[in-house]
Amino acid sequence: MGWIPLPVGVENFEDLIQTGYYFVDKTLFIRELIDMKGKVNLFTRPRRFGKTLNMSMLRYFFEMGKADNAELFQGMKIMDAGEEYLAHMGKYPVISISLKSMKQLTYDDAFYCLQEELAREFKRHDELLPRLLYEEDREKYLRFIGRKAETKEYLDSLKFLSECLFQCYGRKAIILIDEYDVPLENAYFSGFYDKMVSVIRALFESALKTNDNLEFAVITGCLRISKESIFTGLNNLKIMSITSRTYAEHFGFTPEEVEQILRDYGLEDNLKIVKQWYDGYRFGESEVYNPWSVINYVDSCYHDKKAFAKPYWSNTSSNSIVKNLIEQADISLKQEIERLIEGGTIEKPIHEDITYDDMNSTQDNLWNFLFFTGYLKKISERQEGETIYMEMAIPNSEVRYVYKNAVLRWFEERTEKKELKPLYESLLNGKADELAEILSENLMETISFYDYQESYYHGFLAGMLKNIGNYIVQSNRESGNGRPDILVRYPSVRGKAVIIEIKVSKTYQGMEEKCDEALNQIEEQKYEEALRQEGYRDILKYGVAFYRKECMVKLAE
């Protein structure tokens, strides 16, 4: 086949089909939704796993009156599912809103975005206006279009719109609410969570709990927010999280779908790298790839079939939860993060009834957030009494990149806030023992993700020395016959220069030998020669050895 454009960032089903983008057929989602007959269906999946496109697909399938959308579904699986399913096509009024734009720093700005979204949806159904029986309903409808309704009117706006639709068409409405938890996550991190919860709760209660004009509803989000905070008394709510076996294959790409995509684009040889970077999720018992990243990766291979894999998902998702975890980490939690980054697993109790308010109450809640938002995957689970314990790991290389970057940023921020004058003074004054003690203390606070390789310690030490006042810090700079690990020098040759060579010991007892090995390398490779030629006379030479969180430093005599 020729190159079919990939739908990078395309979330409107009609645009995707009519423009001729590549489409992975998820239309059997419609069949399962009809079969299961859920009144209010909440689907929670990580960001960028196809929720918005699926919601758009539902709208174009079920919506009546706008146009004959059957042609959009020609050749798709739902068309062969049977007449009992096609009988639902184009038969319902549909209310469709997305809350994904409600990411403002203040409550007023976020509420304004809600007003805008509702105004667009009321305007989309403006054919109702001349058909409404009562003048007060028409006036209220116009207030929503003009964004002039009172605050309390917005709280039952979806219920009011469904009443208007029933009045005109005699059919109950399907309500689609996409990314319902975005305003809650944003409000939590921006400081107005309680206020936003009240609005979303009232909006949902009126539309989903006490609405006689509701056929059924589909809600999507990243997290299941506890019924007590949002879905109060909503007994008809069915929740399909990433632990549910139903609907598991409809969000994200299955292995078979990914293999087909790669075949279609002549990229079969790239399966191993795609699997390493973008596979690893498990929804229910189904293996799932990140669809956003797969599409972006395949698109990047247009000119170069051997294009490097990149962390596409990490560049779109909010990583505040990972940052929160790392900032709060004590020593035991740091060890768990290290174990995860190195490819190991952890076991934690898992529960789905959480709120953003719970995030910082216990470390277990943070692990829950990481699991349900796609930063961890299920390896196995067991039940002990009333508690379910989940063994979890980082899903793939792309998510591991998120953790590593979060750790590096955290370390840089911590280092910038530290009082490091004693470190600098000991380095410049030849106090090797004092230098080793300070470095060991700081190592205890860090998180390693290189399995204690030399590159980890190199980055650690270079980061600690980054702000050493008027001195220039250079890593792996050409000097003499080789490259010393770190050079610290005063801009003027009248000042001091410091040569640092780093070694890693396999045992605590072998640290001194490694220090001597480092000092010998400095001499054998003549690292100081270039400095002497420049005019430096006051040169300090350090051999630094590391073993896990321990450090030893020796100064050349």
Q: What is the pLDDT of residue 481?
A: 55
Reading phi first (left if > 0) and then psi (alpha if -120 to 50, else beta), residue 535 is in left
Provide the 3-class DSSP secondary structure of residue 232. Answer: coil
Q: Which residues of the chain have pLDDT under 70?
A: 1, 66, 226-228, 315-319, 355, 357-361, 449-451, 477-482
Q: Which of 179, 166, 178, 144 is nearest to 214 (CA)?
A: 166
Other beta carbons within 10 Å of 285 = 9
Q: What is the pLDDT of residue 396?
A: 96
pLDDT tens for residues 32-52?
A: 999 999 999 999 999 999 999
Reading phi first (left if > 0) and then psi (alpha if -120 to 50, else beta), residue 280 is in left
Contacts of 238 (CB under 8 A, 6+ apart): 36, 38, 39, 40, 41, 42
For residue 192, which phi and psi values (nearest 5 degrees)?
-135, 40
| Contact present, 305 and 267 (Cβ < 8 Å) | yes
Q: Where are the alpha helices (DSSP H) in 280-319?
A: 291-300
Spatial distance between the Cα atoms of 486 and 472, rounded to a whole number of angstroms: 10
| Contact present, 521 and 514 (Cβ < 8 Å) | no
Q: What is the pLDDT of residue 416?
A: 73
Work out whether strand 94-98 and strand 173-178 pair parallel, antiparallel, or are unpaired: parallel
What is the arrangement of strands in the sheet containing 377-384, beginning at the earlier edge strand?
346-350, 387-393, 377-384
Spatial distance between the Cα atoms of 376 and 280, rounded to a whole number of angstroms: 9
Spatial distance between the Cα atoms of 483 and 475, rounded to a whole number of angstroms: 9
> Which residue type does 80 have?
D
Q: Which of 49, 125, 538 is nearest to 290 (CA)?
A: 49
Spatial distance between the Cα atoms of 411 and 327, rounded to a whole number of angstroms: 9
Give the DSSP letter of residue 548: T
Reading phi first (left if > 0) and then psi (alpha if -120 to 50, else beta), residue 383 is in beta
Tokens of 310: 């990149």
Q: Which of 325, 326, 358, 343 is nearest to 392 (CA)?
A: 343
- For the chain, the C-alpha Rg in angstroms (whole number) is 29
Q: What is the pLDDT of residue 315?
A: 65
C-alpha torsion angle, residues 354, 359, 365, 371 (rounded to 10): 80
Q: Which of 150, 138, 82 is nearest to 111 (CA)?
A: 150
Work out whether strand 237-240 and strand 40-44 pair parallel, antiparallel, or are unpaired: parallel
Spatial distance between the Cα atoms of 386 and 186, rounded to a whole number of angstroms: 32
| Contact present, 10 and 16 (Cβ < 8 Å) | yes
Of the chain, the end-to-end C-alpha distance in Å amounts to: 71
Q: Where are the alpha helices (DSSP H) in 172-248?
A: 182-190, 193-204
Asked whether the CA dihedral 195, 198, 203, 208 is positive or negative, the reply is positive
